[in-house]
A and B are shown apart, each in its own frame.
Chain A
Amino acid sequence: MDFIVQLAIYSAIASIAAVSLNYVVGFTGIMSISHASFYGIGAYGTALLLTKTGLSFVPALLLGVLITGLVAAFASVPILRLREDSLMLVSVGFALIIHSLMLNWQSLTNGPRGVKSIPRPEIFGISLTDKNFYLVLCLVLLVLTIIIFYKITKSPYGTVIKGIRENEEVMKNYGYNVSKYKHSVFVLGAIFAGLAGGLFASYIQYISPESFILLPSVFMLIMVILGGMGSIGGSIIGAILITVIPELMRFAGLPSSFAAESNQIVYGIILFALMYWRPQGLFGKYKI
């Protein structure tokens, strides 16, 4: 039972990240591979604030999210100047630079040793060290995330960013400041990725640069592509599937020496198969 609660918590956190990535990639068409970096910045920000300052959970999380947003705002300037392939590449470059900073900026991040003993939340004096309470917290935030992104996508603002995904030039020719919209989409997406990261840090109570290399960004992308571009529900299903499958495989008794590689081979196959048979994903409405 405990194991299922843990799986549910991971799925909820992954879902928040996936829904926010879907907003950037699936809905608006910005092919960014740097999302996990914002997840990581949120995690590190919250973790460092919780352990090095006296801040309690809610302010630390909010501040961590704010920091993520600021970094995203800066990063968006170079990243969003490019199109398609180049944008993917530069976002990869950005992700690798951030990882390198996590590893090497030892005075701030403690380097490869990571940040230990991150406390569980204390909200309004109630200690949330119990897993079940933490799950409730995650689910509440997930529901909030879903509502926010749902409202956005159904609004006139949502129509504008869909138009941007379809054809930026045409949108500019109708008078839309496409660049401004892309920036605000990118930053909002990053903010929610940071939120997911902060939740992750406080739950798992120990983070190191290991957890935030390139592959997590790819996993998030797989979740979104699998679930379906532009579909909020699809992203959640994708997140759950990608979180749960490796655990199931472990359950099935694959020796752990095989597990990591086999997992990734499965992901590789999923990616390739999706591009061939269903580039819009399981529930998606838009093709890459």
Chain B
Amino acid sequence: MSLLQIKNISKSFDGLKALHNLSFNVNDGEIVGVIGPNGAGKSTLFNAIMNHINKDSGDIYFDGINITKKPTHPIAGMGIVRTFQDSQPLPQISVQENLDLAFKYQTDISLVSVFGRHKFLQEEQQVHFTKIKELLHEVGLGSKLNVQAQDLSYGQGKLLEMLKVIASDARLILLDEPFSGLFPEMIKLVTKLIYDLSASGKTILLVEHNMQLIEEICDRVIVMDAGQKIADGDFKTVTKQQNVIDSYLGK
């Protein structure tokens, strides 16, 4: 059974069909790319999966469980994390605090914990956090733990967002244009982080405009246009299909 099953979802805004009978599956461990011309509905898709917007019809299953109508935070709690286009960290708090918030075991902190001896990270997570700290150094943010996130550069901000994704330890990762606006060195870093995630068994759904990266990174590609799926398969095959070529050239 696939990890993520999108079944016939549709969503209209004021008569405009943003998603139209869209169906596809994502299997455990895959890296699947989502491509398509602007306005194809790719970000809407992510919003629909996290139930940031209601669907008009259709169902979404994660690990066999119907998440179509669940509120966003329990969906995230089940092990899905998403980034936004032009994702930047929470600006007026520090790099350290940004990371703290992303760690997966922290979502149920109560007031009582304030007066107890609660630390943010229990023993198991210390190991995880040490790994993240090493990554921080690798990407050049090691000395910036106490810097306010808004003082980071755009590229550094995106790197931090990727590290938060890793910290969350989510099973399914939705990345919305993680490479946009990045210099080549940053692109290499982000690519490596994505490969590391996949190697550790995570499943990734990746929206991106950069075709070279899509071809390089993804196992499989889904092409969307006007809210519909028009192709689903490996990159080389799909990009030779006439309907895909037409949609990119504009009919």
List chain A positions with a Cβ less than 8 A from chain B.
151-152, 155-160, 162-163, 165-167, 169-178, 184, 188, 285-287
Taking A169-B52, A173-B73, A177-B108 as known contacts, 8 extra A-B pairs with beta carbons closer than 8 A to each other, sorted by chain A number, are A152-B111, A156-B106, A159-B97, A162-B97, A166-B90, A166-B92, A167-B90, A188-B111
The 10 A-B residue pairs with the shortest CB-CB distance, nearest first, are A166-B90, A175-B76, A175-B107, A175-B77, A172-B72, A155-B114, A172-B73, A156-B120, A163-B101, A157-B109
Please pick, from B82, B113, B120, the residue contacting A173 in the complex, using a CB distance under 8 A. B82
What residues of chain B lie closer than 8 Å to A166, measured between beta carbons? 90-93
Q: Complex: how many Å from CA A219 to CA B108?
A: 35
Interface size on B, residues (CB 8 A): 34
What residues of chain A lie closer than 8 Å to B100, measured between beta carbons? 156, 159
A-B contact pairs, 19 of them (CB 8 A): A155-B114, A156-B106, A156-B120, A157-B113, A157-B114, A162-B92, A162-B97, A163-B90, A165-B92, A172-B72, A172-B76, A173-B72, A174-B76, A175-B73, A175-B77, A176-B101, A176-B107, A177-B107, A285-B92
Q: Complex: how many Å from CA A167 to CA B88?
A: 11
Least CB distance from B103 to A in Å reads 9
Whether B102 contacts A174 by the Cβ 8 Å rule is yes
What residues of chain B lie closer than 8 Å to A175, measured between beta carbons? 73-74, 76-77, 104, 107, 168
Chain A contact residues: helix, strand, loop or mixed: helix
Q: Complex: how many Å from CA A78 to CA B241?
A: 52
Name which residue of chain B comes closest to A230, CB basis: B92
Q: Complex: how many Å from CA A231 to CA B92?
A: 14
Please pick, from A160, A162, A167, A174, the residue contacting B168 in the complex, using a CB distance under 8 A. A174
Whether B118 contacts A156 by the Cβ 8 Å rule is yes
Q: Complex: how many Å from CA A96 to CA B44?
A: 40
Most buried by B among A159, A160, A173: A173
Most buried by B among A151, A155, A169: A155
